[in-house]
Homo-oligomer: A and B are copies of this chain.
Amino acid sequence: MKELFGSPGTKSGLVLRIGQSLFAASSIGIMASASGFSTTTAFCYLIASMGLQFLWSFGLACIDVHALKFNKDLHNQIIVSLFVVGDWVTATLSLAASCSSAGVAVLFTKDTDICKVETNFSCNMFQISIAFAFASWSLLAVSSYVMFWLLASI
């Protein structure tokens, strides 16, 4: 079994999972503290989706730590299959949430003057939260590709 960058039970895999968790948690924190987010479905969905991604990535980070500590091998077909399905579902939901929020943020800031008129909207915080969500998704996309490649080559 060749050792791929980011595969489960390796240090690079652990770094990827920690990065995903941190970005997802930051995205949730910033969005939840922005005033006016709850009036928009897309922003609420972003929080829900990032919450799911945080739980998933943090859980896998714990499994990676366990595997590294006790020198366990996680490269068997059942475990990798589970990781692939989870990764792809989470990644698709995260991209969907990030893009729908980004569409609404562009509408607020560029297409209309809602951000200028509605002074109680924290438009900058919306944008920072969405940027973190995209960062988290891009790391998850790397993990997902590695997992899928691993499953196909097992």
Contacts from A to B (Cβ < 8 Å)? 39-42, 92, 95-97, 99-104, 106-107, 110-111, 148-149, 152-153
Contacts and interface: CB of A to CB of B under 8 A. Distances in A.
Contacts of A107: 40-42, 104, 107
Given A152-B148, A152-B149, A152-B153, A41 B99 contact: no
Contacts of A100: 99-100, 102-104, 106
B152 A42 contact: no
A97 B103 CA distance: 8
A39 B111 contact: yes
Contacts of A106: 41-42, 100
B103 A42 contact: yes
Residue from the set A99, A106, A111, A153 with the largest chain B CB neighbour count within 10 Å: A99
Contacts of A41: 103, 106-107, 110-111
Given A41-B103, A92-B95, A100-B104, 5 more contacts: A40-B111, A99-B103, A100-B100, A148-B152, A152-B152
A110 B40 CA distance: 9
